[in-house]
């Protein structure tokens, strides 16, 4: 009996050892069959997408007037300063009028002299006309020679011409007097509009020279409660912006405050800086609290498309393409088992590249975008039919899926068509853990 009991215990121990060994060998075999690929994924989510264009610009008053001087001279007085409110016609500065007052007195004296010369010429002409009448009467009676009558006629005509000449000189003297009076009036610098002085470029005692062009003395903003932003938009983005489009911006002085505006116009004049062509998109913005100041730098955002509660695909998943060594592991390794024909993942990838529309897939090496677009640049509003391939991780094996994307905000794209659902895991990167270099076995096309 003890021997039988001992035999049973021995058999039980052997069974336990055998079972444990079998379990260990099976687990080790399963571990060897485990895929050596390590995947990084991003999920499909549902939410809002806002497609936008960003640019920088400069704030300025809606109407800005530069006030200059029509005459040269020394500034005698200045009546306004920076930020001074002014009214139309208000005197804001005075140029020393002494020299111009002297010129006015001289012009008035010249006018008086010209008027006296005209009176003298008229008296002389009247006398010459009377002399001619007498001589003509005597010549008709044969008492004097006909030549004397002709001479008297010529003298009378010359006297009449002298009257006209004196009248012309009087007119010139009057014009000179008028010019001297206008120049004297120009010594009073007045505001041409209602507004606020935003710039003063002169001081009392400074000499102003207006010989070639009118020097700018003051800059007046007509109404700071209405301002505009002159925005430099790159030529690649200008097609997405239209007049009447809503825009918003921030300034460095108030980084947490959002200011809303509307695009008034897009100017056709190009501006080239460092081989980059930009266009001026003018934005009107209200400034009732006068917190915005001319010259501030505005960080502008134009919203050209927006979708609510849509499925969103990460752009990193759209850019992901497995390398050839990874495809080989997927096709023939633990994760695949498919045939090396047109049904392989490599064959599917080549087939997808061959059947993709022009400008997409293999043509661009990305999600159908044109070459040269940088990462994060949103697609245009008319690029809503963007056919791409993403890899969905199902279990431990990624599966290629064709989808159509719409608008993008640079990091997420709208899913327009495709068998994806909220929460699906999309492959964004893959690493071959058995590779000697342990480097990433992927290819991203930008």
> Tens of pLDDT along 31-57?
455 566 788 889 999 999 989 999 999
3-state secondary structure of 437: coil
Whether 344 shows a pLDDT value over 50: the answer reads no
Name the more confident of 26 and 224. 224
Whether 60 shows a pLDDT value over 60: the answer reads yes
Whether 157 shows a pLDDT value over 60: the answer reads yes
pLDDT of residue 134: 87
- Retrieve residue 300's tokens: 């502008």
Largest CA distance in the chain: 198
Whether 189 shows a pLDDT value over 90: the answer reads yes
Within a 13 Å sphere around the CA of 199, how many CA atoms are in the beta-carbon half?
18
Report the pLDDT averaged over residues 5-31: 65
Q: Which residue has tokens 């266009």?
A: 279
pLDDT of residue 361: 34
Residue 73 parent element (H or E): strand 73-78
279-291 residue pLDDT tens: 999 999 999 999 9
- Residues 434 and 261: their CA atoms lie apart, in Å, by 57
Tell me the residue ranges of DSSP E strands in 315-355.
320-322
Q: Which of 15-19, 49-53, 87-91, 105-109 has the lowest mean pLDDT?
A: 15-19
- Residues 161 and 128: their CA atoms lie apart, in Å, by 12
- Residues 403 and 416: their CA atoms lie apart, in Å, by 8
Residue 275: Cβ within 10 Å count: 5
Q: Which sign, positive or negative, has the C-alpha torsion 71, 74, 80, 83? A: positive
Q: Please classify residue 372 by burial: count the beta carbons closer than 10 Å to its beta carbon, then call 0-12 exposed, 13-18 middle and 19+ buried.
A: exposed
CA proximity to 310, closest of 446, 429, 383, 418: 418
- Retrieve residue 369's tokens: 């975008």
Q: Which of 4-8, 48-52, 430-434 has the lowest mean pLDDT?
A: 4-8
Report whether 277 contacts 271 (CB < 8 A).
yes
The pTM (predicted TM-score) of the whole model is 0.61
Tell me the residue ranges of DSSP E strands in 290-445.
297-314, 320-322, 386-394, 397-408, 412-417, 425-432, 442-444
What's 244-260 look like in SS3?
A: CCEEEEEECCEEEEEEE
Mean of the per-residue pLDDT values of the chain: 81
112-143 residue pLDDT tens: 999 999 999 999 999 999 998 888 888 888 88
């Amino acid at each position: 009996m003890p021997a039988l009991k001992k035999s049973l215990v021995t058999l039980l121990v052997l069974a336990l050892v055998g079972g444990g060994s079998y379990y260990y060998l099976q687990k080790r075999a399963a571990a060897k069959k485990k895929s050596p690929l390590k995947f990084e994924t991003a999920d499909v989510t549902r939410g809002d997408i806002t497609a936008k264009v960003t640019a920088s610009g400069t704030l300025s008053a809606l109407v800005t007037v530069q006030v200059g001087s029509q005459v040269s001279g020394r500034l005698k007085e200045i009546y306004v300063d920076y930020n001074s409110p002014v009214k139309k016609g208000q005197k804001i500065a005075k140029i020393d009028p002494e020299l111009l007052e002297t010129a006015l007195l001289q012009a008035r004296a010249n006018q008086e002299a010209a008027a006296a010369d005209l009176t003298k010429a008229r008296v002389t002409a009247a006398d010459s006309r009377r002399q001619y009448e007498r001589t003509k009467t005597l010549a008709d009676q044969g008492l004097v020679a006909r030549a004397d009558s002709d001479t008297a006629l010529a003298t009378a005509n010359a006297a009449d011409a002298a009257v006209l000449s004196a009248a012309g000189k009087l007119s010139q003297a009057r014009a000179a007097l008028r010019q001297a009076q206008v120049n004297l009036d120009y010594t009073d610098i007045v505001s041409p509009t209602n507004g606020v002085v935003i710039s003063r470029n002169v001081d009392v005692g400074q000499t102003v020279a207006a010989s070639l062009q009118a020097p700018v003395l003051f800059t007046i903003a007509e109404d700071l409660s209405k301002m505009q932003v002159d925005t430099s938009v790159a030529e690649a983005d200008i097609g997405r912006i239209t007049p009447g489009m809503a825009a918003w911006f921030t300034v460095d002085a108030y980084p947490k405050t959002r200011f809303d505006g509307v695009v008034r116009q897009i100017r056709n004049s190009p501006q080239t800086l460092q081989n980059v062509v930009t266009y001026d998109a003018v934005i009107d913005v209200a400034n009732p609290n006068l917190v915005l100041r001319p010259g501030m730098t505005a960080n502008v955002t134009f919203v050209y498309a927006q979708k609510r509660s849509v499925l969103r695909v990460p752009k990193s998943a759209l850019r992901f393409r497995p390398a050839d060594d990874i495809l080989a592991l997927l096709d023939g390794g633990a994760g695949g088992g498919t045939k090396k024909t047109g049904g392989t993942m490599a064959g599917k990838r080549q087939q997808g590249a061959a059947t993709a529309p022009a400008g997409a897939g293999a043509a661009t090496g990305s999600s159908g975008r044109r070459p040269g677009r940088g990462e994060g640049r949103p697609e245009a509003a008319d690029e809503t039919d963007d056919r791409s391939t993403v890899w969905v991780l199902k279990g431990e094996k990624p599966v290629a899926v064709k989808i159509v994307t719409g608008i993008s905000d640079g990091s997420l794209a709208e899913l327009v068509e495709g068998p994806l659902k909220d929460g699906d895991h999309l492959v964004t990167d893959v690493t071959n853990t058995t590779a000697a270099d342990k480097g990433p076995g992927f290819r991203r096309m930008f």
